[in-house]
Amino acid sequence: MREVIESLVSEALRSAVQGGRITLTELPEPAVERPRDPSHGDWATSVALRTAKAAGMNPRELAQVLADEMADHPDIDAVEIAGPGFINLRVSAHALQRVLREVRAEGTGYGRLDLGKGRRVQVEFVSANPVGPMHVGHGRWAALGDSMARVLEHAGYSVEREFYVNDAGVQMDTFAKSVAARYLELCGREIEFGEDWYRGAYITEIAREIFEAEGASWADADPAKRESHFKETAYVQVLEHLKHVLHGMGVDFDVWFSERTLHAPSADGGPSEVEQAIESLRAAGHIYELDDATWFASIPFGDDKDRVLKKADGSYTYFAADIAYHKDKFDRGFDRVIDIWGADHHGYVKRMEAAVAALGHPGQLDVVIGQLVNLFRDGEVVRMSKRTGEMVTFEDLLDEVGPDAARYFFLRRSTDQPLDFDIGLAKQRSNENPVFYVQYAHARICSILRKAAGADTSDDSVDISATVAELVSEDAPLKLLAGDAELSLMRKLAEFPEVVEVAALQLTPSKLTRYAEELAAAFHQFYTLCKVVDPEEPELTAARLYAVDATRIALADVLVLVGVSAPERM
RNA sequence: GCGCCCUUAGCUCAGUGGAUAGAGCGUCCGGCUACGAACCGGGAGGUCGCAGGUUCGAAUCCUGCAGGGCGCACCA
């Protein structure tokens, strides 16, 4: 619809210039927007205000010339000039009714766009260290990343979801030591527990599983061998657990990328990917040696200071591995890479962007910073601590509120806003809970359709799509849908492709929950004012059933992008 | 000290340089002998943190200040 309006305005400008009614050396952008106030119409353009000076006319005068050019378009009912020189356009009922046909024809594909033109995008998110349970923030990244991927797919990108597994490095060793210590306790040994070791109850659980499976045989083994064995056993367990929890919220990854593979020698025994990445930067002239360390000159790429890649002791920094990781991503052919990180990593963004630019992919990395989650229960802050073992984990939260409420609440705030998550509210089945408000609209529609079809309302096996196929006819006289509530509903349905576009361009899936609530509200208002099933008005009933079914489809579509179910009954 | 994010109604938050700044909750008033009242309608409630600047026009862009959050390793 936006394109239609934009070309209408551009056409009016061109025609007015050609006809000599205005004088411009250059045609301006159409500057089309949706007015905040619905009484100003469906669309407005400020083009007359912006170009009045260049055209040497006063804005209202210019607006009048342009309005005259636009008046005859079949999709436009009214063109009005308002305020200092806005041109307000009202879309015709006919054009809105056509939207209903579009929604039903496209079904789950309604709102699909070709912004991506099939370009390959990778979204990397969660990437929690596999040394313990995920915290609630991980849940937020999971919901955010997965919905972002869904939106990008809907907008025409080819998307892959990836989880970076930090299976190398000291936190893995700490993890192994911690598990080994608990294991030795179970074997009845006295142990000394390191200060920075992990103390969560889950460590003891893992140790117990190993103890039960393998007995006390490792108690007298060489500590290094024992820890190495425990590391592998335990981390695989944790990783499987992470997959399981994420899957429980409907989040599944295409690729689980192991950090270790970056450090390992190549297949033919040559240099590792980390070494190759450094060499590739060296070849491009971005590497120097200082104080026995190898440095990446990142300042020229906008970083605050240059960064060490290889330390004086010969080992590589985490950043070096991350550069290799991102080089690997681009080597795999992605046109665009999106990383979702917690706010506690924002200091890392500049150097990563610098590295990606130095590797020859400037501007192809987007880092989305997600602010943290504060958990509340009945107004009280719930503290999270990775070490005390008393934290509320992402899994705990999911068990308590369920995947629908969890995903919906995680998406409801914009990403750069810290999220206050109220467990009590998420569990409430009341009008205070927005996820139920939206799902209720969908269930209510299904109920109307069942009722209209004369279906037995107690029969749970009634299939809604079969009901619809029988009930809703393409011959329905949609021109009868001309009341305010009906027009508002159709306007809201028409907005969906724009919402997908904005969410995809700005990487802000939170727009979806807002839209879902607006669409649900438009439907509830329509329902209150318009009786759908009326035996005395068969024509009107047919038309309204058509509109109701289109709403059902669009609600289901937006909920798919959010990642929340669209129940037929509640 | 430096950097990033935030500051909008009593609360939680929307708000792509446009018109009289919006929603939900809370509060007050009203609506089921019609298809799901888990719903709908209406009222009250604002110096958009403060001060400058840019322009036809600023909650939005720029600068400074204040308050809050998070970071500033040859850690990962």
Asked if A2-91 and A434-562 have one fold, the answer is no
**Amino acid letter, A351:** R
A346 C-beta less than 7 Å away from strand B: yes
| CA A318 distance to own-chain centroid | 27
Per-residue pLDDT, A327: 97
Give the residue nearest to nucleotide B11 (CA to C1').
Answer: A379
Per-residue pLDDT, A462: 73
Per-residue pLDDT, A169: 85
> Measured in angstroms, what separates residue A453's CA from nucleotide B35's C1'?
11
Per-residue pLDDT, A507: 92
Beta strands A120-124; A336-342: pairing state: parallel
Q: Please, are residues A204 and A193 in contact by the beta-carbon 8 Å criterion?
A: no
Per-residue pLDDT, A196: 83
> Measured in angstroms, what separates residue A522's CA from nucleotide B25's C1'?
19
- Give dist(CA A536, CA A311) in Å, integer: 83
Q: Classify residue A129 as left (phi > 0), alpha (psi -120 to 50) or beta.
A: beta
Instruction: Return the C-alpha torsion angle A338, A339, A342, A344, nearest 10.
Output: -120
CA geometry: angle A530, A534, A535, nearest 5 deg: 170
Per-residue pLDDT, A372: 82
Per-residue pLDDT, A383: 63
Give the residue nearest to nucleotide B6 (CA to C1').
Answer: A417
Which among A85, A32, A80 is positioned nearest to A63, based on CA atoms?
A: A85
- Give dist(CA A340, CA A164) in Å, integer: 11
Name the architecture of domain A2-91.
Answer: 2-Layer Sandwich (3.30)
- Give dist(CA A23, CA A390) in Å, integer: 72
Residue with tokens 């030795």: A184
Q: Classify residue A292 as left (phi > 0), alpha (psi -120 to 50) or beta.
A: left
**Amino acid letter, A362:** P
Beta strands A43-45; A86-91: pairing state: antiparallel
Per-residue pLDDT, A287: 96
Helices (H) and strands (E) in chain A, counts: 19, 15
pLDDT tens for residues A437-493? 999 999 999 999 999 988 665 566 678 888 888 889 999 999 999 999 999 999 999
Give the residue nearest to nucleotide B74 (CA to C1').
Answer: A311
Ranges of residues in chain A whose predicted pLDDT is under 50: 384-389
Per-residue pLDDT, A460: 65
Hits for CB < 7 Å against strand B across A residues 280-339? 290-293, 304, 307-308, 311-313, 315, 317-319
Q: Which residues pair with A310 in a beta bridge?
A: A294, A316
A374 C-beta less than 7 Å away from strand B: no
Token pair in block for residue A161 = 């979801």
- Give dist(CA A139, CA A406) in Å, integer: 8
> Measured in angstroms, what separates residue A426's CA from nucleotide B23's C1'?
19
Shortest CA to C1' contact from A313: nucleotide: B74
Instruction: Report DSSP letters for A227-285, one per residue.
Output: HHHHHHHHHHHHHHHHHHHHHHTT---SEEEETHHHHSPPTTS---HHHHHHHHHHHTT
Shortest CA to C1' contact from A510: nucleotide: B14
A185 C-beta less than 7 Å away from strand B: no
Exposed/middle/buried for residue A490 (C-beta within 10 Å: 0-12, 13-18, 19+): buried
- The Cα-based distances of A385 to A128, A184, A382, A424, A567 in angstroms read 15, 25, 10, 21, 36
Chain B bases near protein CB atoms (7 A cut-off): 2-6, 12-16, 18-26, 31, 34-41, 56-57, 69-76
> Measured in angstroms, what separates residue A2's CA from nucleotide B57's C1'?
24
Residue A393 DSSP one-character state: B
Shortest CA to C1' contact from A45: nucleotide: B18
In sign, the C-alpha dihedral spanning A93, A95, A99, A100 is positive
> Residue A43 in 3-state DSSP?
strand
Q: Is the pTM of this model over 0.90?
A: yes
Give the residue nearest to nucleotide B39 (CA to C1').
Answer: A524
Token pair in block for residue A421 = 């998550």
A33 C-beta less than 7 Å away from strand B: yes
What is the third-level CATH fold of A434-562? Isoleucyl-tRNA Synthetase; Domain 1 (1.10.730)
pLDDT tens for residues A316-331? 999 999 999 999 999 9
The structural domains of chain A, with segments of one domain joined by +, span 2-91, 170-248, 434-562
Q: How large is the angle between the packed helices A484-506 and A538-562, nearest 10 degrees?
A: 20
- Give dist(CA A239, CA A247) in Å, integer: 12
Q: Please, are residues A386 and A132 in contact by the beta-carbon 8 Å criterion?
A: yes
**Amino acid letter, A462:** V
> Measured in angstroms, what separates residue A98's CA from nucleotide B34's C1'?
28
- Give dist(CA A505, CA A527) in Å, integer: 33
Per-residue pLDDT, A212: 95
A88 C-beta less than 7 Å away from strand B: yes
**ipTM score assigned to the predicted complex:** 0.94
- Give dist(CA A411, CA A12) in Å, integer: 41
